[in-house]
Amino acid sequence: MNGGRCPHVRKRAHQPAGRLMRILGLDPGLVLTGWGVVDVLPPRVVLVAGGVVRLTPRQSIAQRLVELERELEGLFDEYRPDVCAVEELYSHYAHPRTAILMAHARGVILLAAERRGVGIRQFPANRIKQSITGYGHASKTQIQRAIQALWNLPQPPAPPDVADALAVAVCCGRAAGMAGLHG
């Protein structure tokens, strides 16, 4: 398989009337990029779908970025988000290479959204975790369980990249709903 988009969670396909906005949350990576789509129907954030884009690790970084852009275009076409939400870049002094590699994928995400005229919202990791679990330093497992509980899913979203992307989307949705933002 040459990479591709894998849906793991799907609740609703149509865009309901009265929604404030549709958000595509993304968790960037060069092997797996998590994605999650939610509709903001104040006061609720409604799950639409979630999954991962699987990139081919044997390919060069440039080839993976082209593949990621192609898969993102498919997500934008299928779900037609008003907003793209992504975690702000964070670099821990112990793992600067990870931040640099993630920045490549983030750049493609921001470029794809901007080209489409889709609004871009960025949130710090601790704000996303606080929004989902009530604790700004929650683990990946805690994020997965919180997302599972939020929508009464039969099991936690897996891999964790799906839950992380949905968490970004929910954080954005809650911020938008509270602020009355549109697009």
Catalytic center residues:
27, 87, 161
Please answer whether residues 159 and 32 qualify as being in contact, where contact means their C-beta atoms are separated by less than 8 angstroms. Answer: yes
Q: Can you say how many angstroms the Cα of residue 14 is from the centroid of all Cα atoms in its chain?
A: 19
Instruction: Return left, alpha or beta for 44; rule: phi > 0 is left, psi -120 to 50 is alpha, else beta.
Output: beta
Running DSSP on this structure, what letter comes out for residue 152?
T
Q: Do β-strands 83-87 and 119-123 pair in parallel, antiparallel, or remain unpaired?
A: parallel
Angle, helices 125-133/140-150, rounded to nearest 10 degrees: 50
Handedness of CA 106, 112, 115, 118 (dihedral sign): negative
| Rounded CA separation 137/132 (Å) | 11
- Does residue 43 have a cis bond before it (omega within 30 degrees)? yes
